[in-house]
């Protein structure tokens, strides 16, 4: 066993009367990893996730958390140590936001003032002002707000591990996008070990630093987003990656700032060129070029010209060796 593995699955299987939902899965997730399990419906990704907090018990193999077999824990205290967020939020409709968030701390027996402080801290972390949200009921929240509360509630007990089962699956694309950004921002602050399930490869590429592709209960490939895009293990993986769209997906992971030509000052003729920001993706840069029918863009950061990027540079851009961020 690797010494710094937070979660370790050794030949884990789950059988349901004759059918095999998860088949001999080996997985090692390091502390601080953002691990995304991705695959089509029924591939065993949710089952795998739910075996980690023993909502489903595994039939064979070993699941270790910080080196300890999970069957040696009491299931309730195990679950209180692991944050859990699901697609339909599962917020308690009869409790207000504050009480929902305080659920796990209360189960853990924290003193009242500490729970209160934690609720305030989390609402702030998720950009939900305490005064306007703490005493709302889930039925008064929009889908995106409810899911933020769901995430806050999962983080409330300050768990080392966060399990998320398609948490953004039911949201509209714009809300989903902003919650993904927010989750990345939060993860940079809190460095939890996150296991995230989705069927959306774009979401996986965006969030993960460790992608696990599953099919029919088995792990087909696990890699960083870049490795996955560069070397999909088989046709199933490349199909999930969008086949010929792969190039665009890859460009979506690379930032203009890393490939532009710097040290450039504005010349009068530049005003005819379209502009882009340094932290935009190459994919967006390509789209802007197509739209304006230009082979060159000015890179602007807060009204300062910081460089330029050309079609040639995008085409020749070499993917990063490792994950950005």
Partner 1 sequence: MFWLTCLLVATFGFVHLEELFAQISPTQRQVIYSRDSFLALLLNHIYLVSIAAIISICVGVISAIFVTRSYGKEFLPLVSQVASMGQTFPPIAVLALSVPLLGFGTLPTILALTLYGLLPIVRNTLAGIQGVNPAVLESAKGMGMSSIQVLWRVELPLSSTVILSGIRTSITINIATAAIGSTIGASTLGDPVISGLVNGNTAYVIQGAILIGLLALTTDSFLERLQQKLIVKHSLM
Q: Which residues contact 307 (CB under 8 A, 6 or more apart)?
A: 260, 261, 262, 263, 264, 278, 299
SS3 of 211, please? strand
Least distance between partner 1 and beta carbon 154 (Å): 8
Specify the residue, 166 or 308, whose C-beta has the smaller distance to partner 1: 166
Specify the residue, 43 or 97, whose C-beta has the smaller distance to partner 1: 97
SS3 of 162, please? strand
Specify the residue, 153 or 206, whose C-beta has the smaller distance to partner 1: 153
| d(C-alpha 171, C-alpha 100), whole Å | 20
Q: Extract the tokens encoding 287.
A: 């789209």
Specify the residue, 89 or 187, whose C-beta has the smaller distance to partner 1: 89
User: DSSP string covering 231-247, please?
Assistant: --SSHHHHHHTTGGGHH
SS3 of 118, please? helix
Least distance between partner 1 and beta carbon 44 (Å): 18
Specify the residue, 105 or 252, whose C-beta has the smaller distance to partner 1: 105
Task: Identify the sign of the CA torsion 193, 195, 200, 204.
Answer: positive
Least distance between partner 1 and beta carbon 50 (Å): 8
Environment class of residue 246 by beta-carbon count within 10 Å: exposed (0-12), middle (13-18) or buried (19+)? middle
| d(C-alpha 112, C-alpha 102), whole Å | 10
Least distance between partner 1 and beta carbon 163 (Å): 8
| d(C-alpha 86, C-alpha 66), whole Å | 23
Specify the residue, 136 or 277, whose C-beta has the smaller distance to partner 1: 136
Least distance between partner 1 and beta carbon 111 (Å): 18
| d(C-alpha 160, C-alpha 83), whole Å | 8
Least distance between partner 1 and beta carbon 65 (Å): 14
Interaction site with partner 1 (CB under 8 A): 53, 55, 75-81, 84, 86-94, 103-104, 107, 137, 139, 150, 153, 163
Specify the residue, 30 or 81, whose C-beta has the smaller distance to partner 1: 81
| d(C-alpha 241, C-alpha 43), whole Å | 16
Least distance between partner 1 and beta carbon 87 (Å): 7
Taking each helix axis from N to C terminus, what angle separates 143-155 and 112-125, rounded to the nearest 10 degrees?
130
Specify the residue, 164 or 282, whose C-beta has the smaller distance to partner 1: 164
Least distance between partner 1 and beta carbon 27 (Å): 20
């Amino acid at each position: 066993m690797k010494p710094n593995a937070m979660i370790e699955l050794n030949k884990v299987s789950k059988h349901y009367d004759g059918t095999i939902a998860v088949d001999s899965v080996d997985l090692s997730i390091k502390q601080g990893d953002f691990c995304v399990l991705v695959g089509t419906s029924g591939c065993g990704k949710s089952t795998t996730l739910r075996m980690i907090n023993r909502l489903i018990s595994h039939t064979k193999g070993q699941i270790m958390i910080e080196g300890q077999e999970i069957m040696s824990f009491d299931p309730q205290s195990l679950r209180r140590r692991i944050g859990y967020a699901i697609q339909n939020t599962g917020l308690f409709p009869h409790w207000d936001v504050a009480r929902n968030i305080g659920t796990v701390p209360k189960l853990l027996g924290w003193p009242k003032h500490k729970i209160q402080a934690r609720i305030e801290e989390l609402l702030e972390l998720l950009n939900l002002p305490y005064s306007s949200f703490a005493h709302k009921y889930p039925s008064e929240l929009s889908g995106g707000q409810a899911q933020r509360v769901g995430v806050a509630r999962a983080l409330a007990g300050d768990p080392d591990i966060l399990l998320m089962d398609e948490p953004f699956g039911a949201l509209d694309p714009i809300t989903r996008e902003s919650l993904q950004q927010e989750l990345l921002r939060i993860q940079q602050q809190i460095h939890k070990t996150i296991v995230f399930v989705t069927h959306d490869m774009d979401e996986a590429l965006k969030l993960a630093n460790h992608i696990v592709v599953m099919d029919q209960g088995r792990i087909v490939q696990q890699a960083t987003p870049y490795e996955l895009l560069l070397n999909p293990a088989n046709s199933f993986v490349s199909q999930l990656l969008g086949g010929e769209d792969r190039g665009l997906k890859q460009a979506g992971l690379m930032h203009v700032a890393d490939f532009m030509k710097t040290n450039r000052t504005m010349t009068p003729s530049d005003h005819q060129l379209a502009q882009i920001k340094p932290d935009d993706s190459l994919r967006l840069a390509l789209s802007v070029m197509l739209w304006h029918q230009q082979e060159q863009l000015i890179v602007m950061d807060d009204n300062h010209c910081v460089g330029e990027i050309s079609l040639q540079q995008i085409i020749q851009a070499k993917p990063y060796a490792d994950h950005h961020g």
